[in-house]
Amino acid sequence: MAERLQKLIAKAGLASRRQAEKWIEEGRVSVNGHPAKLGDRADLSHDQVQVDGKDLAKAEAKLTILLNKPRGYVSTLKDPEGRRLVTDLLTDVPTRLFPVGRLDYNTEGLLLLTNDGDLAYRISHPSHNVDKTYLVKVRGLLSAKMVQRLEQGIHLDEGVTAPAKVDNIRSVGSGCWFELTIHEGRNRQVRRMCEVLGLTVVRLKRIRLDSLDLVGVSTGRYRVLSADEVRKLEKT
C-alpha cells in the first residue's frame, strides 16, 4: 500500500515526519530516480525510495529508550564542531535511534530516543501539549511577581509563551531552585524565559516528560521503555 514519503522515512527510523518533510523539501529524497515532492506517496514493495542516494529500508522493529543525558553532549546525530553526541552513550544499542526534540549542550536530564517517527511526532508536536518538567537553578531570587509572569506567559521575540506551572521553590543563598513545567519546545525556552525575568540559569535538568521520570536511571545511563509506557505516550 502506498504511503506518504515522510511516513515511510519515519517508519524506517531515519527521522521524525517533520524532519523527513524538510529532507523532501531540500531535495534529499527521490522516488524511482525522480526528485520527490511533499505529498508524494510510494510503496516499498515496488517503488525505489532513496534518501541521500541510499535505498530506504523497510521498517525496523520499534524501539524507544529513555536516556538521562549528562551535560556536555549535543542532542543531534552529528555535530560540525565535533562535540560529543547523545548517541555516543548508546554504543551497545544496535538500532539506529534519533532524539525526540533536543536538550541544549549544557542541559541535562530526560531525553527520549526512538526509531518510531509517529511517536516522535506525537510527543514533539505542540498541539498535543505534552508536559515537560525541568528542575531549574538560577542566580537570583524568584519573586511572587515573577512566578505570576511565568504562569501567565512570557513575551519572547516570537511571541508569548503558553502558561507555565511553577512548583517547589526553595532559596539557597543568593539563588534558588524551582520546578517549571511547560508543554512547548521553543529553542532554549526555559533559559530565555528566565533571562526575561533577569534570572541567570546556572543548572537546568529535565526531570519529567508526561508520565515518565528519571527514577532508577543514573546520569549517562538509559532504559528501554515498556510497551505500556509507549502506549501511554501514544495516547497523549
The pLDDT score that the predictor gives to residue 1 is 79
**Which is the catalytic residue, given 40, 104, 116, 210?**
104
Banded model confidence at residue 59, pLDDT cuts 50, 70, 90: low
- Encode pLDDT of 17-39 as tens digits: 888 999 999 999 999 999 999 99
Confidence bin at 118 (pLDDT 50/70/90): confident
Whether residue 118 lies in the annotated active site? no
Grid look-up 521575540 returns: 157
Band (16; pLDDT cuts 50, 70, 90): confident
Residue 173: pLDDT over 70: yes
Q: What percent of the chain has pLDDT over 90?
A: 75
- For the beta carbon of residue 31, count every other beta carbon within 10 angstroms: 19
User: What is the pLDDT of the chain when averaged over all its residues?
Assistant: 92
End-to-end CA distance of the chain: 28
Greater confidence, 123 or 84? Answer: 84
Q: Domains, the chain, ranges and CATH? A: 3-55 (3.10.290.10), 64-126+215-234 (3.30.70.580), 131-209 (3.30.70.1560)
202-224 pLDDT, tens digit each: 999 999 999 999 999 999 999 99
Average of per-residue pLDDT across 147-169: 95
Residue 126 has pLDDT above 80, yes or no: no
Has residue 73 got a pLDDT over 70? yes
